[in-house]
């Protein structure tokens, strides 16, 4: 259990597991991974090894969960590497109990992303395979629509961050927000000019990043999280994956994060993807701008709400985002050449 995070009480664990036919419980070990508000326990039982998750209340939308599970079950039937859901004794894929939603999965052994070229290329292949499998998915539930492209919500939050009322008269914060609006708008315009509105939409993953994937011997063995599945263009999904795999950070203070991205990982992920799905010139040209839009959006939404990005200073984080945005913009030709060579 992550210190200070949510956790299971013993009586809660016993009651929840009583709804599943997994035999006698032999061992239950907390797992510290992912969202600290979504506690997880590895359960060893008579009928196998399982992972129990209690969803964070902010995501306790039955319709949303039902749609994600319908996608997950569909992918499992296509032999795509997702962790199989375990049904309750009543035949449901999740358990609703005392205002919480619980999910039980068959436990998949694997290792976290180590950053190897083999892993990165295979992550690109599997994203393309997911897009192929879901290209004609028509479930019972309607998905969320849209991504961070050309979003009035993103612009509104940037203006909120930059307003004197919310930044306490911090002129530097207003300057950063104003510059990010300019970059965001310029990228949105370029992507629209490339024909974004004419590109086909389908169900996509919505959050393709290393923390959601398990590997073994350089290959993807499990996709762990489909909570963000939605209806949008696959190119936007790919751009988000390129961002998540290539962004360089990791130091405690975002002011110490470098401007540059890992160009090799960017190229490797794209190489894996286009082994399976070819991209035309317009979609290739749109990737850097979609990365810029996504990076800005993912930063400003939580900062506008709380003033922080996780536990990090909102001001320092936005300064870093501005530097990285400018680096992507200035190096777009070099990056495109590296990704397509």
Long-range CB contacts (within 8 A, 24+) of 41-46? 41/8, 41/13, 42/107, 43/17, 43/104, 45/17, 46/22
Residues of the domain holding 156: 117-340
Contact at 8 Å (CB) between 182 and 190?
Answer: no
Whole-angstrom distance, CA of residue 214 vs CA of residue 223: 7
pLDDT of residue 150: 96
Phi, psi of 181 (to 5 degrees): -60, -45
Asked whether residue 130 falls in the same domain as residue 90, the answer is: no
Domain finish residue from 83, 106, 129: 106
Whole-angstrom distance, CA of residue 181 vs CA of residue 176: 9
What is the CB neighbour count within 10 angstroms for residue 76?
A: 15
User: Considering its fold, how many domains does the chain have in total?
Assistant: 2
Nearest to 3 by CA among 51, 39, 27, 28: 39
Asked whether residue 265 falls in the same domain as residue 153, the answer is: yes
Asked whether residue 247 falls in the same domain as residue 149, the answer is: yes
CB contact burial 138-177 (16+ within 10 A = b; e otherwise)? ebeeebbeebbbbbeebbebbbbbbeeeebeeeeebbebb
Within-domain flag for 111: no
pLDDT of residue 134: 97
CA distances from 113 to 22, 53, 192, 245 (A): 30, 21, 34, 10
Asked whether residue 147 falls in the same domain as residue 30, the answer is: no
Angle formed by the axes of helices 152-162 and 281-306, nearest 10°: 40
Angle formed by the axes of helices 332-340 and 263-276, nearest 10°: 50
Within-domain flag for 5: no
Q: What is the DSSP letter of 114?
A: -
pLDDT of residue 267: 96
CATH number where 78 lies: 3.30.200.20
> What pTM was estimated for this model as a whole?
0.92
pLDDT of residue 4: 46
pLDDT of residue 170: 60
* Helix, strand or coil, per DSSP, at residue 89: coil
Asked whether residue 223 falls in the same domain as residue 87, the answer is: no
Cα torsion 234, 340, 184, 162 to 10°: value is 110
Contact at 8 Å (CB) between 160 and 306?
Answer: no
pLDDT of residue 331: 97
What is the CB neighbour count within 10 angstroms for residue 127?
A: 28
pLDDT of residue 51: 96
Which residues in the chain land under pLDDT 50? 1-4
* Helix, strand or coil, per DSSP, at residue 85: strand
Whole-angstrom distance, CA of residue 114 vs CA of residue 182: 36
Domain finish residue from 74, 106, 138: 106
H or E element at residue 31: strand 25-31
Whole-angstrom distance, CA of residue 90 vs CA of residue 93: 9
pLDDT of residue 166: 57
Domain finish residue from 106, 128, 149: 106
CATH number where 250 lies: 3.90.1200.10
């Amino acid at each position: 259990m992550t210190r200070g995070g949510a956790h299971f009480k013993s009586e809660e664990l016993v009651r929840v597991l009583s709804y599943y036919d997994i035999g006698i419980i032999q061992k239950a070990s907390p797992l510290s991974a992912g969202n600290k508000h979504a506690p997880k326990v590895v359960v060893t039982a008579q009928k196998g090894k399982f992972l129990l998750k209690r969803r964070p209340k902010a995501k306790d939308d039955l319709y949303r969960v039902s749609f994600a599970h319908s996608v997950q079950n569909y992918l499992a039937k296509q032999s795509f590497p997702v962790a199989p859901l375990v049904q309750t004794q009543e035949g449901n894929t999740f358990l609703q109990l005392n205002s919480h939603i619980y999910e039980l999965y068959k436990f998949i052994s694997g290792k976290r992303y180590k950053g190897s070229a083999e892993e990165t290329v295979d992550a690109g292949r599997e994203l393309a395979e997911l897009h192929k499998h879901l290209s004609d998915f028509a479930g019972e539930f309607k998905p969320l629509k849209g991504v961070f492209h050309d979003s009035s919500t993103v612009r509104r939050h940037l203006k909120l961050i930059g307003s004197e009322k919310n930044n306490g008269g911090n002129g530097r914060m207003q300057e950063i927000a104003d510059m990010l609006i300019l970059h965001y708008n310029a990228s949105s315009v370029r992507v629209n000019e490339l024909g974004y509105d004419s590109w086909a939409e389908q169900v996509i993953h919505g959050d393709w990043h290393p923390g959601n994937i398990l590997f073994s011997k350089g290959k993807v063995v499990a996709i762990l999280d489909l909570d963000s599945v939605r209806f949008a263009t696959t190119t936007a999904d790919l751009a988000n994956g390129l961002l998540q795999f290539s962004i360089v950070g990791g130091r405690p203070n975002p002011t110490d994060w470098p401007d540059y991205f890992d160009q090799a990982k960017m190229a490797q992920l794209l190489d894996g993807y286009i082994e399976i799905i070819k991209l035309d010139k317009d979609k290739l040209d749109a990737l850097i701008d979609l990365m810029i839009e996504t990076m800005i959006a993912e930063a400003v939404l939580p900062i506008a709400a709380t003033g922080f990005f996780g536990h990090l200073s909102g001001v320092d984080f936005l300064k870093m985002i501005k530097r990285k945005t400018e680096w992507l913009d200035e190096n777009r030709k070099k990056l495109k050449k590296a990704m397509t060579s």
